[in-house]
Structure 1
Amino acid sequence: MSAAIFARQDGVWLNEPQRWTAQGDSLEIITDKATDFWQKTHYGFRRDSGHFLGFRTAEAFTAELRVQGNFQELYDQAGIMVRIDAEHWIKAGIEFSDGRAMLSSVLTVGQSDWATAPYAHDASDFRMRVTVADGVVRLQTSTDGKTWPLVRLAPFPKAQSYLVGPMACTPERAGLQVKFTGFSLKPPLGKDLHDLS
C-alpha cells in the first residue's frame, strides 16, 4: 500500500474527531471530550466512542504505526486498534494510569480485559506492530522501529477481514494531540515468536 496511506480514500472513521488533519503519511488529531472504548468489565458500562481510523485488511496481516503524543491525564491513550465490531476488537499503545505512562492493551471479546506495564522508554514517541493470523493476535512495540519485543500474544476471533489503524481516546477530558506516522499494512510477517526484528 502507498506510503501516503492516511491520505487514501479507503480509511473509515469511527467517531471522527472534530479536529484532524492528514498530509502524506501523517495524521494529526485532537481528541474530543469523554471518548473511550470499553465493554462491561468491572465498571459495567459500554463505551464505543473513541476515535479510530480503520483500513480494511485481508484475513491475515501485519500492521505498524508510529505514535507521538503528550499523555498527561488519567486514561489519555493512543495506539493501534484491530476491530471486527463493537464487541470484538483489540487496542494497544500508551495509556496514562496511576500517575505515569503505561504500555497498555485491551482485548475485547464480548467483554474487555486490561493489561498494563510500566513503560521504561519515551512514551511521547513509540511504535506498535500487530499481526493477526490463524486466530491469533501478536502485539509488539518498538522505540526505534528495529527491535520489537512482545507485548501480548492472545487468541483472537477469525474473520475474512478486519479494520486496523490508529486509535486515540481521552475518557476524562478533551484535547490530547496525537500524531500518527509510518503506518504500513502488509501480509503477515510470519516470524518466529522470539524473532524480535
Structure 2
Amino acid sequence: MTDGEVRVQPWRAGTWTTAPAAATEDGPDLVVTAVEGSDAWRHTAYGFVHDDAHALLAPMASPGAVEVTFDVDWDGRFDQAGLVLRADEQTWLKAGVEMTDGAAHVGAVVTLGRSDWSLAPVPEWAGRRVTVRASRAGDAVTVRARVDEEPFRLVRVAAFPPEAAVRAGPYCCAPTRSGLVVRFRQWAVGPADAALH
C-alpha cells in the first residue's frame, strides 16, 4: 500500500478475541501485555488446541489488505506478535515475528481445520520495528513483512476460503511466560496488492 492508500485504523475499531492482561494507548501506540500461556494453534504435531491469543479484530474487506507495525523488543521463548485474519476457530491465519530457537523468526501459521507453520530466521530484526502485511484476494492470502523502511519480502502465499467473512488486526501471545509487552505502532487497511510479484 502506498501512503495515499493506507487508512490507519483506530485501536478502538477492533474487539478482542481474548482480552490481554492489559492494553493501554500511549500516544498513537497501543501497548499490550499478554497473558502467560496464551497461544493460537490447532492439533498438528503438538496434539493440543489453543485459541486464546490476544487478537484485536475488525471486519476486513475482500479483496483488501491489512498491515500491522510493532516493535520487536522481547526475547522470551515463543513470544510472538503480528496480525491475524480470522473467520472462525478453525479458519484463520496468523503472521508475524516469533522467538524460537533463541532468535527472531518471521513466519505464518495457516489453520484450515488443522494448523501448519512456516518460518525463516531473521535475527537481525530483533530490537527493530517490523511491519507485517496480509493481502487477500480470491482464494489466497499473500503475506509480506519488512523491518524498518526496507522493502517488503514475501513470507507466504496461502490458500484461504474465498467465501469466508474475515476479521483482521494485530495480535500477540506468550505461550511460555508472563510479562510479554508488545508496542504496536500502527494498524492500517487498504486495497489488495495489485500483483503477487
Normalising to structure 2: TM-score of the pair?
A: 0.90
In structure 2, C-alpha distance between the alignment counterparts of 1:24 and 1:188, rounded to whole Å:
29
The alpha carbon displacement at 1:174 in A equals: 1.5
Distance 1:102 1:2, change over 3 A: closer
SS at match of 1:121: helix
Other-structure match for 2:152: 148
The alpha carbon displacement at 1:2 in A equals: 5.7
1:110-149 equivalences under 5 Å are 110-124=113-127, 125-145=129-149, 147-149=151-153
SS at match of 2:8: coil
1:66 corresponds to 2:66: no
The alpha carbon displacement at 1:187 in A equals: 2.1
The alpha carbon displacement at 1:59 in A equals: 2.2
Cα deviation 1:35-66 (Å, max 9, x = unaligned): 00000001111000110000111222111111
Distance 1:145 1:135, change over 3 A: farther
Q: Where does the alignment leave 5 or more consecutive residues of structure 1 unmatched?
A: none
The alpha carbon displacement at 1:160 in A equals: 5.2
Runs of at least 4 residues of structure 1 off by over 4 A? none
Cα deviation 1:83-120 (Å, max 9, x = unaligned): 10111111111111111111121110000001111114
1:161 corresponds to 2:157: no
Other-structure match for 1:31: 34
Q: 1:180 aligns with which of 166, 171, 184?
A: 184
1:3 corresponds to 2:22: no
Q: Where does the alignment leave 5 or more consecutive residues of structure 2 unmatched?
A: 1-5
Other-structure match for 2:3: none
In structure 1, C-alpha distance between the alignment counterparts of 2:113 and 2:57, rounded to whole Å:
20
Identity across matched positions, percent: 33
Quick check: 1:75–1:96 contact (8 Å CA) kept in 2? yes
1:80 corresponds to 2:101: no
The AA in structure 2 aligned to 1:119 is V
1:104 corresponds to 2:101: no
